[in-house]
């Protein structure tokens, strides 16, 4: 589990505890997602607690999610990057092309929290990482238009053969492949990182740390 996943888990646990204290009645998943995303964006915890203390969670839920159109998201996402070299436990940018064949514009706003994202599967088809890192759309994609853009990818932590599925998500609502978005599974061989690109001193330090981790694991 990388630092982003640990941070997300910690914030999610914080939101769960706060809601249990200040909102003992059942609240929707949308409220939890709302506050989780706010904390991940740097929202002050004390402000969240004040809002919950005064019972504002429902109004926030309505303002963020009430106007989302639950329409069929006809269109597609295609990986167009020619460089498909991935290294274990790393991060990279990946070029994709998003095509909007629906009847409404796609954009990332508080009222329409739409993001590019992805799922990782292992070579047997089992989910490796379903909740991929989100990347906001840099500008609206109008009906009939396409948008090439770079998305942020967190690579699997172990080398091996995987399948990458780039998709889109309406945060707190649905994954767009559930709404007829055309997606593809791309076979990816994740390589072990060898320190390429580092200075000689940094590479030596990297290999020392790697040996220490392996020795500790055994």
pLDDT (tens digit, 0 to 9) for every residue of the chain, 218 residues total? 567 777 788 888 888 888 888 777 666 666 777 778 778 777 777 777 877 776 655 444 444 433 334 445 589 999 999 999 999 989 999 999 999 998 889 999 988 899 999 999 999 989 999 999 999 999 999 999 999 999 999 999 999 999 999 999 999 888 999 888 999 999 999 998 765 555 556 555 655 665 565 555 44
DSSP string of 156-209? PSS-EEEEEEEEEEETTTEEGGGGTEE--EEEEEEEPP--TTS-HHHHHHHHHH
Pairing between strand 114-122 and 127-129? Answer: antiparallel
Max CA distance (Å), the chain: 58
Contacts of 210 (CB under 8 A, 6+ apart): none
pTM for this entry: 0.61
């Amino acid at each position: 589990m990388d630092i982003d996943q640990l941070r997300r888990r910690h914030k999610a646990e914080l939101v769960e505890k706060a809601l249990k204290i200040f909102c003992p009645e059942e609240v929707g998943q949308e409220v939890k997602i709302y506050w989780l995303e706010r904390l991940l964006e740097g929202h002050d915890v004390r402000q969240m607690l004040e809002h919950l203390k005064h019972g504002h969670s429902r109004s926030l839920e309505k303002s963020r999610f009430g106007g989302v159109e639950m329409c069929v998201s006809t269109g597609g996402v295609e990986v167009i990057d020619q460089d498909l070299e991935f290294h274990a436990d790393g991060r990279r940018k990946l070029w994709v092309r998003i095509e909007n064949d629906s009847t409404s514009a796609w954009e990332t706003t508080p009222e329409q929290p739409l993001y590019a994202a992805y799922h990782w599967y292992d070579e047997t088809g089992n989910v490796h990482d379903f909740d991929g890192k989100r990347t906001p759309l840099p500008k609206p994609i109008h009906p009939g238009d396409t948008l090439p853009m770079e998305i942020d990818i967190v690579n699997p932590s172990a080398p091996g053969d995987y399948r990458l599925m780039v998709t889109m998500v309406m945060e707190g609502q649905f994954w767009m492949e559930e709404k007829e978005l055309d997606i593809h599974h791309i076979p990816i061989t994740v390589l072990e990182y060898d320190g390429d690109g580092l200075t000689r001193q940094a590479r030596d330090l990297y290999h020392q740390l790697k040996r220490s981790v392996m020795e500790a694991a055994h």
